[in-house]
Amino acid sequence: MAGAGRRERAPVADASLEPPLGAFSPPRRLAGEALGSALLLAIVIGSGIMGERLAAGNLAIALLGNTLATGAGLIVLITIFGPISGAHFNPAVTLVFALRRELSWRLALGYVCAQLAGSVLGAWTAHAMFAEPIVQVSTRLRDGPAQAFAEFVATFGLVATILGAIRFRPDATPLAVGLYITSAYWFTASTSFANPAVTVARMLSDTFAGIAPSSAPAFIAAQLLGALTASVLFAWLLKDGP
């Protein structure tokens, strides 16, 4: 009996980043996306505030603290929420899985709404923890073609990491994503937002991690284009057969 002792996974119609272990209801999946997105933004913005306060003007040290907290936090959040919702936390990732028909469009729209709402709540949570004004608008400009291209590269690489990991090493997906984002903070000029929901929430934080509203549209367009490009290329690259 070769299969004896193995834990069988319940089949789920809408597989995603990490196929859920059980048939979680749509409300639970949406709650997982909202809560995970909120915690992610609390990590991103909170660690940025802490890093800037402790770095005494050394931006490299501040960015290093922001990077390590974000990468480590992602590994934990994907491990926790992956079996529930797929742990997308990212409209660009959700779009890719909807296009792959691994997520219904109706549920995908719910995911995006949950991600946006959770991300904004996470930004406000970070502000509250550090006694910052809750409602803010960022003044940190991140303009120019190089910054937008960096977001294209960052999101392309993120989607490539996800698709490759779930194809060959699904159990390593949380670690792979966390490590990729850790590296992308440093090899991209934009510090790798790679996420439209994160970009929207960071518009509402005039802190180290913020982005001015005027800079955000180019970031979001580049992120979606990078995700779509990776989806098309890896659909071909990972296809079995000639």
pLDDT given for residue 191 in this prediction: 96
Q: Other C-beta atoms within 10 Å of 28: how many?
A: 14
pLDDT given for residue 5 in this prediction: 39
Surface-to-core class of residue 9, CB atoms within 10 Å of its CB (0-12 exposed, 13-18 middle, 19+ buried) = exposed
Judge contact between 189 and 113, C-beta under 8 A: no
Q: What is the mean pLDDT of residues 131-152?
A: 97
Q: What is the mean pLDDT of residues 185-198?
A: 98
Q: What is the pLDDT of residues 79-114, one digit of tens each?
A: 999 999 999 999 999 999 999 998 999 999 999 999
Question: Which of 82, 87, 96, 68 is closest to 181 using CA atoms?
Answer: 68
- Range in 13-17, 137-141, 144-148, 164-168 the model is least confident about: 13-17
Which pTM was predicted? 0.90
**C-alpha–C-alpha distance, residues 171 and 9, integer Å:** 14
Cα dihedral sign, 22-23-26-28: negative
DSSP 67: H
pLDDT given for residue 203 in this prediction: 98
DSSP 127: H
Give the helix, strand, coil percentages of the chain, each rounded to 5: 65, 0, 35
Cα angle 165-166-168, degrees, rounded to a multiple of 5:
65
* Structural tokens at position 199: 């970009």
φ/ψ (deg, to 5) at 203: -65, -25
Fold of 26-234: Glycerol uptake facilitator protein (1.20.1080)
Residue type, 3: G
Q: What is the pLDDT of residues 16-63, one digit of tens each?
A: 455 555 678 999 999 999 999 999 999 999 999 999 999 999 999 999
| Residue 98: C-alpha distances to residues 16, 111, 157 (Å) | 9, 11, 19
Q: What is the pLDDT of residues 204-242, one digit of tens each?
A: 999 999 999 999 999 999 999 999 999 999 999 998 866
**C-alpha–C-alpha distance, residues 13 and 74, integer Å:** 25
Domain extent listing, the chain: 26-234
pLDDT given for residue 82 in this prediction: 93
Q: What is the pLDDT of residues 171-182, one digit of tens each?
A: 999 999 999 999
Judge contact between 18 and 170, C-beta under 8 A: yes
For residues 159-198, b (16+ Cβ closer than 10 Å) or e, as one string? Answer: bbbbbbbbeeeeeebbbbbbebbbebbeebebbbbbbbbb
Of residues 152 and 6, the one with the higher pLDDT is: 152
Residue type, 19: P
| Residue 170: C-alpha distances to residues 5, 113, 165 (Å) | 20, 26, 5
